[in-house]
Chain A
Amino acid sequence: MTFLNLDHISANPLAPEVKDAMIQAIQSDYHNPSSQHQAGEHAAGLLEDARQKTAQLLGARDPKEIVFTSNGTESVNHALKGVAYANKEKGKHIITSNIEHNAIHRSLKRLTSQGFKVTSLPVDEGGRVDPKEVEKAITEETILVSVMHSNNETGTIQPIEEIGKVVKDHHILFHTDAVDSVGLVPLDVQELHADLLSFASNTMYGPSGVGGLYIRQGTRLFPLLDGGTQENSKRAGAENLIGIIGHGKAAELALHNMDSRQKHLAHLKELLLSELPNYIDEYIINTNLDHSLPHLVNVSIKYIEGESVMLMLSEEDIAVATKSACATGSLRASHVLLSLGLSHADAQGTLVISFGQENTEEDVYRFLGALKNIVDTLRAMSPLYKKAYQATTQE
């Protein structure tokens, strides 16, 4: 059976045009953009071309506002620690949300151990942060607010424009972790009022190992890496030129094909959601369908455990992600799902299905057929299913 990838939130294949651009670069464009000879200047031109395309995708006014990094995690670390260290004389208070990625969560934990104070806001039942709560949390000491654009587990998109507006009105720096949004949904740093925005190239079918940080001109932050003057002295170290060339192509394609890509993904997602009740019962959709990424569905299937479903699907050559605690190395149930008010048992039965451009309607039906059999098998094995069944027959 052919391999079916429904785990695009974890990894995307390279777009064919990206692959071509990178192969071309491997063969001829290996020079250091900082070198002043012709080959170096040619490399610098390619680097700036990728920066220009990224700036266009994000609505940045000046390409210099884009700094390339090694991935989303580095971007996020740079934004939070860079702002905190550079602005600690002004204050030491940072506001964030309870559903952020570990890159945010653990960077802030590190800062807390260095004397910074963090307010972490809850989400409503729709999985969203209330901009009013952000405003209430702001103090004289607040130097930075960081709320993610879309959540990597639920796919729920946050009201970033409104939050950005509130933060700007108070003249505080605003960062949004848009790693799972940039290239997938249209966004504009001006509309979002973002001073800092993190992204990763693989989300838009570019290579892993390339990420970036938008830094609005005039934003005060320290670099994470000290060394040479690359990236306008904001990120030292020789650039990953081959990867960045691939990323430039990916950004160009993302901007050009945004509408058609979104439509394709949204169609598959709608098909999955409308057909799901014909295959299984007793499940919870954790994605806020009014505000979500076009390609992702987070579903908790009651009475069974997600890792088991994932492993059985994997045996049938179907890849999905799971947010069950057992599968992720950490035994705690997902902090994002618990924030939504899910019970531990329900949170354990969670699958994250994310479509990509290569997926088809047949893929949706193949997945649903396999899922139905697996859910039946595992429920027959589950003491929780038996208990729930007995409770309903006794009523």
Chain B
Amino acid sequence: MYNKVVMDHFKNPRNVGEMENPDAVGEVGNPLCGDMMHIYLKVKDDKIDDISFQTFGCGSAIAVSSMLTEMAKGKSLEEAKKLSNQDIADALEGLPKNKMHCSNLGADALHQAIQDYEARRDGVSLKEPEPKRKEIHEHGEGGNCYCPYCNVELDEDSPTFCTACQSDLGEEH
């Protein structure tokens, strides 16, 4: 089901556990499948000095968390902001199609932790983050519709059902 890289990160997750006195925390949950991820950061000179995670989720969600922490560690905040879901999935040498939403969770949690850090640094209170995933599909450029969970273009003939991640989107597109 999973490739060797994913299984390695699942079986031997890197940087796992809660961090004492973190400089920032990012928490995201996936409303669809119930996964939840916490990312903890220590920041030094605008660089990610240390990072750890806690995740409730499937094998893929744990592997994504582990890979994310390895990729983000040592990066400047600006570089880390550019880390995308696809980057993580690529580094894991691919995820099953219906698990691509797990990789969304990883990048979202990291970006939220960075926002939390910047808000604390600038002494402003962090706004409630906009939920990125809604229980509806999204319209892409050129009129195509995309599944919000796995970014796959939706089939015109299956109006409410994403065949990639097998989720019923609950609304016609």
Q: Which residues of A contact B (CB under 8 A)?
A: 303-305, 307-308, 311-312, 315, 324-327, 329-333, 344-345, 347-348, 380-384, 386
Contacts and interface: CB of A to CB of B under 8 A. Distances in A.
Interface of B: 2, 7, 10-11, 13, 16-18, 27, 32-38, 54-62, 98-99, 101, 149, 165-168
B149 A326 contact: no
Contacts of B17: 380-381
Q: Is the interface of A mostly helix, strand, loop or mixed?
A: helix
A383 B34 contact: no
Given A329-B98, A380-B17, A383-B27, A308 B62 contact: yes
Interface centre among A305, A312, A347 (most CB of B within 10 A): A305
Contacts of A383: 27, 36-38, 54-56
Nearest to B53: A381
A382 B56 contact: yes
A212 to B, nearest CB: 31
Given A325-B34, A383-B38, A386-B18, A308 B59 contact: yes
B56 A331 contact: no
A359 B113 CA distance: 48
Contact of B57 (A308, A333, A380, A386): A308
Contacts of A330: 166-167
5 contacts: A303-B56, A305-B35, A326-B57, A331-B32, A384-B36
B104 to A, nearest CB: 12
Contacts of A326: 33, 35, 57-58, 60-61, 99
Contacts of A333: 33-34
A304 B35 CA distance: 10
A331 B33 contact: yes
Nearest to A381: B16
Nearest to B167: A331
B16 A307 contact: no
A50 to B, nearest CB: 36
